[in-house]
Amino acid sequence: MRTNHFQSIPITTWLFTVSLRTVLVVLIHPAIAQNDMTPARQFNLDKGLAIQGYDPVSYFTSHKAIKGLAGITATHNGATYRFSTAANRDRFLKTPSTYEPSYGGWCAFAMGDTGEKVEIDPETFEVRDGRLYLFYHTFFNNTLPKWQKDEPNLQRKADQNWKKFTGN
C-alpha cells in the first residue's frame, strides 16, 4: 500500500481523514460553504469590519462621517458595522439595506469607470437618492468630483459592474 510523503499512514486513510476534516469544517462554518459571490466576500472589509469602522447611519442622519464605537455594533450579510449611538444601531437593524454602502463599500467612481474594487476614504462620500456612495481620496486624487461630473452614466455602469461581483 502506498503512503503519502508527509506521514507514514496509508494514503487511503490520509485521504479519508482530509475529506472528513473538510466536511466538518463546512458543517461547522457554513460561511465557508458559500460561493465567492456572497456579499461578505465582495464587501470592502477589514477583518470583517465595514466602512473602516464608520457609522453608516450617520451619513444619512448627520450628513457627515462619524467613527463608530467598538462597543456598539451589528452584523449584516457577514459584515460588522460600528455605530456612534445605540439609536443608530437600532435604526440600522430595522432596515440594514437602507444604510449599507453602495458597491460593497468600494469606490463608486472606480466601480463605474473601470469596474474595479478600489479602496475608499470613508470621509469622502455622497448620499444621493437614498444611497451611500464612498470614494477614493488621497492628497492628489479625489474621485468624488470626477463622479459628480458624469454621475448618471457612472452610476449606471457601476451598477452593472457590481452585478458581476455579486451575481445579482
Q: What is the mean pLDDT of residues 81-96?
A: 98
Residue 1 has pLDDT above 70, yes or no: no
Q: Do residues 133 and 126 make contact, with C-beta atoms less than 8 angstroms apart?
A: yes
Could you give the strand order of the β-sheet that contains 45-46, starting from the edge strand earlier in sequence? 45-46, 49-50, 79-83, 69-76
Counts for the chain of helices (H) and strands (E), in that order:
9, 6
The DSSP-derived string for 85-127 is: SHHHHHHHHHSHHHHSBGGGGSBHHHHHHT------EEEEEEE
Residue 92 has pLDDT above 80, yes or no: yes
Euclidean distance between CA atoms 97 and 47, whole angstroms:
21
Question: For all residues of the chain together, what is the average pLDDT?
Answer: 84
Q: What is the pLDDT of residues 3-57, one digit of tens each?
A: 444 445 454 543 444 343 433 333 334 333 333 445 678 999 999 999 999 999 9
For residue 15, give the C-alpha cell.
485521504
Spell out the domain ranges in the chain.
Answer: 1-33, 39-166
